[in-house]
Chains A and B, each alone.
Chain A
Amino acid sequence: MKKINPRDVYGETLVKLGEQNPNIVVLDADLSKSTKTYKFGERFPDRFFNMGIAEANMVSVAAGLASCGKIVFASTFAVFVPGKTYDQIRMSVAYSNMNVKLFCTHAGINVGKDGFSHQMIEDIALMRVLPNMKVFAPSDPYQAGRVAELMAEHYGPMYARVSREPMYQIYERDVLEEMEIGKSIKVREGDDITLLAHGLMLHECILAARDLEKRGISAEVIDIWSIKPLNENEIIKSVRKTGRVITVEEHSIIGGAGSAVAELIAEKGINAKFKRMGIMDVFSESGDPRDLFEKYGISKEHIVKNSMEMCSD
């Protein structure tokens, strides 16, 4: 399997979108070389605005442009947007229902050596609570591009997060073409336990499911890249079938996709064993991404261990 950087795909997708639609405008906050929006900037210098290290301004400027019919992609690291700009997103974007696409990179602890200051693990929680806001976390590099396309095609405030680390290619083209907002992707069928994940954690779950199979446990793996809206039907169906569910994400266990799933199954009165895997309400630290996944309990090995435990009684 190939590893590809979702940011590169995002940058290339922006160029493609820019060619198709003159209303696409892109903003960045002095990180265009990292977010790869510079590719759009090189191709369409008139429609690319580097707003400097002034993220709050960037978000409200994006709303202003959107109010004039532009489809505005604004990118930087996820720690800064939404981290530094919650109020601007809340007022100028979500409440004002502007067609602004916050597409942020360097989400999660895979950011690695830069440490907690640069590892965003609260963004899904922050964005999920805003009415009008949709939240996506692609799990495959080309899926990141497809998410950007869907964001451009549909009106409204949206937030997407991708990792700094390259991702394994999981999907064939036809799977991506069928993607729709609010849909999930069943990556693997299983009967004993449901593993729900997004971002880099999806691949960890796929690896874990293979291990589990050798140990006689059949795991269903579902990519919940569309966190809001969530594909409630598919999740409910799967959990009803397996009676066991683990969510895995590079996000705080509080407020993320795991919480969204917990809310869903509790309200539907589904009787299932449930566990959230994520960052356990602690601050993460510098380190190699793999070491961090291991230490903070979200690596494949941890998924296997937790699944075995859940299936053992």
Chain B
Amino acid sequence: MKKHVHDNELVRKLNLIATRMRKKIIEMLYRAKSGHPGGCLSAIDAIVALYFHHMRHDPKNPKDSNRDRFILSKGHAAPALYAVLAECGYFDKKELLRLREINSILQGHPANTLTPGVEVSTGSLGQGLSFAVGVALAGKLDKKDYRVYVLIGDGEAEEGQIWEAAASASHYRLDNLIAMLDRNRLQIDGTTEEIYGLEPIVERWESFGWNVLEIDGHDMKQILDALDKACSFKNGKPTMIIMNTIKGKGVSFMENNLKFHGIAPNEEEYKMAMKELEELERKLEGKK
């Protein structure tokens, strides 16, 4: 396991990448004229931390049997994953601008048969954690030391299958499985608490036999530390990292705005968003 001191320089570098990814996401959705900005922007910091620092993976060898796996269970955040995969070199960045177009390798939701680096097709919520359980079981069977990371939406965790998977992961003592919950408190029709009620979320996961960490999901250092901590547990339990996030994070008018769950920015919104993100980018680059 990697033991890292997550110094300021690393954090700045990753924050810069995340900002550039946010720009990519906005651009992709603007061009595609559809997609889900809110859930991409709340999840992107975690995905950047995984791919640009924490996970063991090789874009030139995407099927390497020893790779760490990342599974995007909340498939509607596909553009966030695509932006990162392209940046890592899994496929040509030009493909990003063909998101959701006919004959594109980038479907509206992840499709493993079309996109290098995508582990499984998702988009129907609730299945990714179960798939991750299967991958983690295989790792145990084959005595491999890879880890399995899976990102779940908080609304998604209303699905019964998530809890079937949660129970099976602890039953089979899958300490090679690390789930991350994008706790942005919003789903489509409203807040998670008015629609379904997910609290007490920490206790729920603990009672299913998981280690639970709770962090600020936009604080890069906290994300990196939590991932390392999740890898350090030696108690045979899977780990859930509850990431308190903001839906639409990084674009002021999208933040906590239900409207931007599943609507792409129009031209004016696109320009405003890019301006904000470019300012942030310059700041992180250390330029004026």
A residues lining the B interface (CB < 8 Å): 25, 46-47, 49, 51-52, 54, 56-57, 59-70, 72, 87-88, 90-92, 95-98
Residue pair B134, A69 in contact (C-beta under 8 Å): no
Q: List 28 A-B contacts (CB under 8 A).
A: A46-B141, A47-B141, A49-B137, A52-B164, A52-B167, A52-B168, A56-B126, A57-B164, A57-B165, A59-B130, A60-B128, A60-B130, A60-B131, A61-B134, A61-B137, A61-B168, A62-B134, A63-B131, A64-B130, A64-B133, A65-B134, A65-B137, A67-B138, A68-B65, A68-B135, A92-B121, A92-B130, A96-B121
Residue pair A91, B161 in contact (C-beta under 8 Å): no
Q: Is B119 an interface residue (CB 8 A)?
A: yes
- A203→B65 CA distance, assembly (Å): 47
Closest B residue to A90 using CB positions: B124
**Chain A residues with CB under 8 A of B119:** 67
Residue pair B120, A67 in contact (C-beta under 8 Å): yes
Residue pair B137, A95 in contact (C-beta under 8 Å): no
Residue pair B168, A64 in contact (C-beta under 8 Å): no
Residue pair A64, B65 in contact (C-beta under 8 Å): no
**Chain B residues with CB under 8 A of A62:** 134
Q: Is B239 an interface residue (CB 8 A)?
A: no
Contact count A vs B, C-beta below 8 Å: 106
Contact pick for B131, options A51, A52, A64, A97, CB 8 Å:
A64
**Chain B residues with CB under 8 A of A54:** 164, 167-168
Q: Is B191 an interface residue (CB 8 A)?
A: no
CB distance from B174 to the nearest CB of A (A): 11
CB distance from A232 to the nearest CB of B (A): 26
Could you give, for residues 109-126 of chain B, a 1 whenever the CB lies within 8 Å of some chain A CB and a 0 otherwise? 001110000011111101
Residue pair B138, A70 in contact (C-beta under 8 Å): yes
The number of chain B residues with a CB under 8 A from chain A is: 33
Residue pair A64, B121 in contact (C-beta under 8 Å): no
Residue pair B167, A91 in contact (C-beta under 8 Å): no
Contact pick for A64, options B111, B123, B132, B164, CB 8 Å:
B132
- A130→B26 CA distance, assembly (Å): 34
B residues lining the A interface (CB < 8 Å): 65, 111-113, 119-124, 126-128, 130-139, 141-142, 160-161, 164-165, 167-168, 171-172
Closest B residue to A70 using CB positions: B138
Contact pick for A87, options B120, B124, B171, B172, CB 8 Å:
B124
Given A49-B172, A60-B131, verify A68-B142 contact (CB < 8 Å): yes
CB distance from A94 to the nearest CB of B (A): 9
CB distance from A199 to the nearest CB of B (A): 30
Given A69-B65, A91-B123, A92-B121, verify A64-B134 contact (CB < 8 Å): yes
Residue pair A61, B167 in contact (C-beta under 8 Å): no
Residue pair A65, B135 in contact (C-beta under 8 Å): yes
CB distance from A180 to the nearest CB of B (A): 25
CB distance from A283 to the nearest CB of B (A): 26
Residue pair B164, A95 in contact (C-beta under 8 Å): no
Contact pick for A57, options B123, B139, B168, CB 8 Å:
B168
